[in-house]
Every structure is written in structure tokens, then in C-alpha cells.
Amino acid sequence: MDIHAPQRRTLYPEIQPYETGMLDVGDGHSLYWELSGNPNGKPAVMLHGGPGGGSSPDHRRQWNPDKYKILVFDQRGCGKSTPYASLENNTTWDLVDDIEKLRTQVSKVDKWQVFGGSWGSTLSLAYAQTYPERVTEVILRGIFLFDQYEIDWMYAYGGASSVYPDKWDEFEAPIPEAERGDMVEAYRKRLTGDDKDVQLTAAKAWSKWEGDIVTLLPSPATVEHFTSPDVAVAVARIENHYMANNGWFEEGQLLKGVEKLRGIPGVIVQGRHDTCTPPRAAWALKKAWPEVDLQIIPDAGHLFNEPGILDGLVRATDRFGDA
């Protein structure tokens, strides 16, 4: 152990939101939101993963509450937002519009820091490229660009299945052998069907596969969280819905759109051993956006609360706290 190495940063102490509410964003959707920290502080918005993962109380603890005004919310169909697990009017571009409504109607700020991990990194890039004039900085973790190779890595044989062959067999188990050539479509049929028992079985298997591969070391608590019925159904249905539609992106769209981010400071915190969103995408983004600060954490997987990832994220928010 290097006694001279700096101590890793961790979450700020637990805090409660000073304001919460529901925002009607149209299309029958209402989003749960919460504001925490300093009402007069530097504005930041946290974009959770999934799609469909929902927010957690720990998410608001990645910022210094004395310096930041922190908006955390549940995206369409998940967490405390309603209607639960709905796929209607639930696309990337609906969510980008929702973020703007939250900025103007809830946070009521001119610009803010955009922070997102995993699918949240995708959504952060989509929002920042649509509204670059509204973004002060971008902090990203576990880059997912929604290109076809990333979808195939997760859901076609030969990608993550090469690292977790035993877990892949469990993922394939609910699907007849004849349908395993397109696992996203096979699961889509079951997750959108009328049989609720079949839907729940499929949802738990889909979500367990993700829970198995998102941590560097096995984490029964993570798998238990992912497979709890309330989490599993929203994650599986919404995530599968987005995968089946390629996130409503053209191939390579987010890399090409990096030109719109010139002049916006950015930090990427990426686990070297991330088996969910491997470093290939983060490296491609760094090459397209040389000025971004890419930190590849040598002893980390995917989740934000792994020690090295969390250290990088908290240091990044601290870096911009007085900017």
C-alpha cells in the first residue's frame, strides 16, 4: 500500500432534499424530482442510468451540498415517476425535452452542470449536444454511445458473455433456443406481452444479467436490487425498449456531435474492467474530444459507488464547485 497516495474521496454525508415534487411533462407522464444542497448554489442535474434505473438517495451525495444546487429526478416510467414502466412516449428525445422543462420550471436556472453515468452518460451527451448553451460542464461515467457494437456486446453472444459465460447461460435460459439469435427481440416479446408472470420472469432474468456484470467483484446486494420486482420490471421493459430502437440514434451520432461541445469542460471517469460499458467507447470519445479529461480507473468496473469511480466523480464535482 502506498502511504503517500491520496485518500480516496467518498460520498458527502447524507442530506435530505429541501424541495420535492412531480412535474407534468405531457404525453401522460409525470416526473418525480428533488432539489438538494444550497438553493443559491451552482446548479447541477444528475441523469441516472438504465434506461429505467431510477434515482437513489446516494445520487445527491456526489456534490458538496454547501456549494451546489442539485436536481435529481426519475426519468419517464421509473422510480417514483408515473405511469410506472410505461413505454408510451418514452424515447431519448422525450427525455431531452424533459430535462429542459426541469431546468426552466423546477431548477429555474440559466445553465447547469450535466452529470450522468452509463445510460445517463448517453443522455447527458444527447442533451448537451442539443442545448450546449445551457451546459457549464459535463461529468460522465461508464460511457455508452448507443452504437450497435455496444448493444451487441451486452446482448449478443461473444461479448460480455465471453467474460461471464455462466451468467449468460442464465440469461438465455428463459428464451427457446430457436429465438436466441436476437435476444433483444426475444425478450421484447415477453416484456411487452399480456402474461404478467411471463413478463416478471423475463424482467428478472434481463435485470439479473445486468446486475451480474456491473460490478468488478460479485455483489449479491446489487443482484438482489436489480431483481426486486419493482426495479426489474421498469429496468427490463424500458431498457429493452431503448435497445430495440437503437436509442433513437443514428449510428455514430454522439461521436459526430462532439463538435457542439467545444469549449465545455468535461470529465470522464471510466472503469478499466467495466464489462457493461467497456472502455472502448470512452476512448473513442476522448479521441473525438481531445480536451476532455479521461480518467481510466485501473481497479474498477461499472457502478458509480465503486471506490475508484466514486473518488473520480467527487473530485470532478469539487473541481468545478467554485467555477
Please list the active-site residues.
118, 274, 302
* Cell, residue 113: 452542470
**Counting Cβ atoms within 10 Å, is residue 2 exposed (0-12), middle (13-18) or buried (19+)?**
exposed
